[in-house]
Amino acid sequence: MNGQFETYTLKNGVRLIHSRNRSEVTHFGLLVHTGTRDETEEEHGLAHFMEHMFFKGTPRKSAYQIISRLEDVGGEINAYTTKEETAIYASFLKGDVRKAIELIQDIFLHSTFSEKERKKEAEVILSEIQNYEDTPSELIFDHAEELLFPHHSIGRNILGTEKSLKRFQNGLVENFRDINYATDEIVLCSVGNIPFAKMKEYADRFFSDIPTRSRSRKRIVPVSELGKETLMKRDTFQKHCVISGEAYSYKNNNRIALHLLNNILGGPGMNSRLNMALREKRGYTYSAESHYMAYTDIGALNIYFSCDKERFDQSMEIAHKEMKKLRDKLIPEKRLNDARRQLLGQIAISSDNGEHLMLSMGKSFLVFNQVDSLTEIEKKLAAVTSEKLQEVAREILDPARLNTLIYE
């Protein structure tokens, strides 16, 4: 038992984490610690391609039967791929828990990756790539990380390219799964009104027969390139900008402080410093935000805004002034306490959504083998001082260590 979570490890190393509530709706997911960064150059986009192919048929179920299995009873099944994880997850009425777990097990372990479906899904993903190319406010983040980590797979986009999609024959797909899907890097996570003993029973029944397997492909620590300014010509009405830099990994002791600093600078709150300075006070932009992504051995901070071309130079100056304030001035204790409470509240509200809780605790268990309670998170935030925030700002927001990417 870990606070409000219960955990269990199968004989093959697969882990289970469960949180029981009183809802009629249950959420179940499978997370594996494999993503885009685990691809070779020839495999670019393969992790995401496999996520799509999980839904395209097994020896026992057609693609239609996979889609309909839960949807026929009002449930939902979905998946996603990131730089370091792949997830398959579902939401359903608690009476359908066995059906949902069996479905996820079947598509994860027994997908056939047929040639017919492979070609069709490659076209679907190509359409997804083209749609992404038409969305500069999203595409610019991929380009920023490519510039930040230009010689490493973690810098490549998740979707792949039209050229790489043509390479994904069955042998390549199966080889990628065998090399990268280690049993001790698989987590089953669930939230719902199901006894933990029953979840353990299902985990053993459906996942204990997976042969024990360790990752054979080792991850290489990325090397960042910093201090660059890049201008890309795009046919856009506005200018878009990302200021990016290297940040802390999951296991760095300053990670919590950077999460708090990022929230103050450009987090989701309308009162973030960037949003207040650029949107609320001056009306220069619709969107001004920052994002901190922590990975196993490195991290990235991306600061974004878009605006009319005639307002761009002023907006850039204002963004840098806000970063300079964080480097030069200590945040007063009252404002720091407000920032702590804001971040804690955001985490609490997100955790009140069963699906969000299931995925977040699954990811935490996958990476740290534990999940912090809100009380433990509150203690960690309380330990972050104004001096620590300034120290982190001076390191991460050092102008000499920031890249600038501009779309115009």
CA dihedral 240, 398, 248, 293 (to 10 degrees): -10
pLDDT for residue 289 is more than 60: yes
- Per the listing, tokens 């697969």 go with 14
6-207: CATH topology: Cytochrome Bc1 Complex; Chain A, domain 1 (3.30.830)
Using a 10 angstrom Cβ sphere, with 0-12 exposed, 13-18 middle and 19 or more buried, the burial of residue 310 is exposed
CB 29 within 8 A of CB 190: yes
Give the pLDDT of residue 351.
94
Domain boundaries, the chain: 6-207, 229-407
Average pLDDT over residues 223-251: 96
Residue 84's nearest CA partner among 187, 10, 163 is 187
So what's the pLDDT on residue 234?
92
Confidence of residue 291 (pLDDT cuts 50, 70, 90): very high
Average the pLDDT over each of 88-92, 117-121, 155-159 and give the range with the smallest value: 117-121
As a whole number, mean pLDDT of residues 228-257 equals 96
Task: Please report which confidence band the pLDDT of residue 290 belongs to, taking 50, 70 and 90 as the band edges.
Answer: very high
Helix (H/G/I), strand (E/B), else coil: 1: coil
The answer to whether residue 256 scores a pLDDT higher than 60 is: yes
b/e per residue 85-109 (b: at least 16 CB within 10 A) = bbbbbbbbbeebbebbbebbbbbbb
Please give the average per-residue pLDDT across 236-247, as a whole number.
Answer: 96
Which tokens hold the place of 148? 């930040």
Contact between 107 and 28 (Cβ < 8 Å): no
As a whole number, mean pLDDT of residues 232-245 equals 95
CB 331 within 8 A of CB 342: no
Range with the lowest mean pLDDT among 90-104, 122-136, 261-275?
122-136
Instruction: Please give the average per-residue pLDDT across 308-332, as a whole number.
Output: 97
Q: How many CA atoms lie within 13 A of 341 on its CB side?
A: 6
Identify the pLDDT of residue 171: 81
Give the span between the Cα atoms of 48 and 51, in whole angstroms: 5
Question: What pLDDT, on the 0 to 100 scale, is given for residue 322?
Answer: 98
For residue 319, pLDDT beyond 60: yes
Please give the average per-residue pLDDT across 164-180, as a whole number: 87
350-357: long-range contacts, CB 8 A cutoff, minimum separation 24: 354/21, 354/23, 354/25, 354/26, 354/27, 354/91, 354/191, 354/192, 355/27, 355/89, 355/91, 355/191, 357/19, 357/27, 357/191
Q: What is the C-alpha separation between 329 and 393, in angstroms, rounded? A: 10
Instruction: Check if the beta carbon of residue 260 is closer than 8 Å to that of residue 337.
Output: no
- Give yes or no for residue 265 having a pLDDT over 60: yes
Average pLDDT over the chain, rounded to whole? 96
Neighbouring CB atoms inside 10 A of 275's CB total 22
The whole-number pLDDT of residue 1 equals 39
Reported confidence tier of residue 172, pLDDT bands at 50, 70, 90: confident
pLDDT band at 174; cut points 50, 70, 90: confident
Residues 74, 61: Cα–Cα separation, whole Å = 19
Specify the pLDDT at position 406.
98
pLDDT, residue 206, reads 98
Phi then psi for 383, rounded to 5 degrees? -80, -10
Q: Is 188 helix (H, G, I), strand (E, B) or coil?
A: strand
pLDDT higher than threshold 90 for residue 302? yes
How far apart CA 96 and CA 26 sit, in angstroms, is 9
Q: Given this model, what pLDDT does residue 293 score?
A: 97
Taking 70 as the threshold, does the pLDDT of residue 22 lie above it?
yes
Per-residue pLDDT averaged across 193-207, rounded? Answer: 98
Task: Tell me the two tokens of residue 114.
Answer: 């047929």
Average pLDDT of span 36-47: 95
Q: Which amino acid is residue 397, in one-letter code?
A: L
Quote the distance between the C-alpha of residue 145 and its chain's center: 14
Query: pLDDT tens digit string along 346-373?
Result: 999 999 999 999 999 999 999 999 999 9
What pLDDT, on a 0 to 100 scale, did the predictor assign at position 115?
Answer: 86
Q: Is 374 exposed, middle or buried (0-12, 13-18, 19+ CB in 10 A)?
A: middle
> Edge-to-edge, what's the strand order for the sheet holding 6-9?
6-9, 15-20, 186-192, 25-32, 86-93, 76-81
Inform me whether the pLDDT recorded for 2 exceeds 60. Answer: no
| Range 229-407: architecture per CATH | 2-Layer Sandwich (3.30)
pLDDT > 70 fraction of the chain, expressed in percent and rounded: 99
List strands edge to edge, sheet with 229-232.
229-232, 402-407, 239-247, 299-307, 288-294
Let me know if the fold of 6-207 is the same as that of 229-407: yes
Residues 6+ apart with CB under 8 A from 97: 26, 28, 192, 194, 198, 202
